[in-house]
Amino acid sequence: MTFKTIRLVTDSTCDLPPDLIRKYQIAVIPAFVNYGGRSYADDGVELDRQTYYEQMPSMASHPTTAAPSPGLTASIIERQAEGADHVVMLTAPARLSGIHNAFRLGASNLPAERVTLIDSGTLSMGLGFQVLAGAEAAAETGELSVVLDAIERARRHARVFAVPETMEYLRRSGRVGWATASAAALLQIKPIVQVNEGEVESVARVRTFSKAVDKLIELAQGQFPVARLAILHANNPDGAAEIRSRLGSGVPAETYVINATPVIGTHIGPKALGIVTLNQGWRR
């Protein structure tokens, strides 16, 4: 086997911690959040997550999100391809975002045999764990088939669950059909949602946020034992800390607590909480 240099490219909805991005030289292409007459790159520089979530409830109009332009995408993908034998790109679901298509267009100038584009089917660290699995395999083996297999195994064994504090932001976003259609009733309850194969599905509904958190923890524990875990929050560190404490001994060494990307938070709203599990079975 000849060792090859394989590089990863993903989008900013992946929520990967910066130290892992640096360690594996992963290129992250920012999506954008539009509000107050401006467009902000979700790159951790133009858009401060804490400040954004604090401002959301008082915004005069609901912010929107946008995919990166094909031009920006092309420039970053082509830069990542320099000195690499192959580039593997993973994105948020095409069913939920134009990001996947932006990547497809952005990679169109590169030879087809040098790029692989994957729709992750999920969001946040559900995507992030797939990228991390691929990056680790690339660093260890330099073999494309092993990288793609690692990504697929992570995909099969990862689960993403989340609960909004209010249904208002999902209703406004219009991205989730059942939320829009049933807004009047849903505003009175708290759904626990799962992102699966590009769909946002309601897997349970309860009357209070505290009961929703109970159910969120129950769903996560149903995936134990886990190799990796991410606890997500939208400016709700106390809620994230409570979840971590209540998960107890089931929390693995590789646990990440993340203030979630505003590109996702725009649609689910401030104070939302989420859990992403990667079952131990992913390693076979």
pLDDT digits (tens, 9 = 90+) for 216-272: 999 999 999 999 999 999 999 999 999 999 999 999 999 999 999 999 999 999 999
Among 101, 130, 156, the domain-final residue is 156
C-alpha to C-alpha distance for 263 and 254, rounded to whole angstroms: 24
Worst-scoring range by mean pLDDT, 55-69, 80-94, 184-198?
184-198
CATH code where residue 97 lies = 3.40.50.10170
Task: Give a yes or no: residue 175 inside a domain.
Answer: yes
Instruction: Tell whether the model's pLDDT for residue 159 goes beyond 50.
Output: yes
Q: What is the DSSP string of 206-253?
A: ESSHHHHHHHHHHHHHTT-SEEEEEEEESS-HHHHHHHHHHHGGG--S
Task: Give a yes or no: residue 116 inside a domain.
Answer: yes
What pLDDT is stored for residue 186 in this prediction?
Answer: 54
Worst-scoring range by mean pLDDT, 29-33, 62-66, 191-195, 248-252?
191-195
The answer on 214 and 95 residing in a single domain is no
**H helix intervals, the chain:** 18-23, 49-55, 70-81, 99-106, 124-141, 144-157, 168-173, 177-181, 183-186, 209-221, 237-247, 262-268
Among 156, 188, 216, the domain-final residue is 156
In this prediction, residues 157-178 reach a mean pLDDT of 80
The answer on 145 and 186 residing in a single domain is no
The answer on 108 and 187 residing in a single domain is no
Q: What is the pLDDT of residues 84-113, one digit of tens each?
A: 999 999 999 999 999 999 999 999 999 999
Strands 6-11 and 27-29: parallel
CATH code where residue 199 lies = 3.30.1180.10
Counted domains in the chain: 2
Task: Give a yes or no: residue 1 inside a domain.
Answer: no
Task: Give a yes or no: residue 164 inside a domain.
Answer: yes
| Full domain range(s) for residue 229 | 157-283
Q: Phi/psi zone of residue 182: left (φ > 0), alpha (ψ -120 to 50 degrees), beta?
A: alpha
The answer on 21 and 138 residing in a single domain is yes
The answer on 213 and 184 residing in a single domain is yes
The answer on 130 and 104 residing in a single domain is yes
The answer on 172 and 142 residing in a single domain is no
The answer on 48 and 144 residing in a single domain is yes
The answer on 180 and 77 residing in a single domain is no
The answer on 124 and 73 residing in a single domain is yes
Positive or negative CA dihedral for 7, 8, 9, 15?
negative
Is 170 within 8 Å of 164 (Cβ atoms)?
Answer: yes
Instruction: Tell whether the model's pLDDT for residue 177 goes beyond 70.
Output: no
Helix (H) or strand (E) holding 161: strand 158-163
Is 44 within 8 Å of 263 (Cβ atoms)?
Answer: no
Question: Helices 144-157 and 124-141, interaxial angle, to 10°?
Answer: 150
The answer on 101 and 89 residing in a single domain is yes
Question: Helices 209-221 and 237-247, interaxial angle, to 10°?
Answer: 40
Q: Which amino acid is residue 162, in one-letter code? A: A
**Which position has the higher pLDDT, 283 or 150?**
150
Task: Give a yes or no: residue 14 inside a domain.
Answer: yes
The answer on 144 and 13 residing in a single domain is yes
Q: What is the pTM of this model?
A: 0.94
As a whole number, the mean pLDDT across the chain is: 92
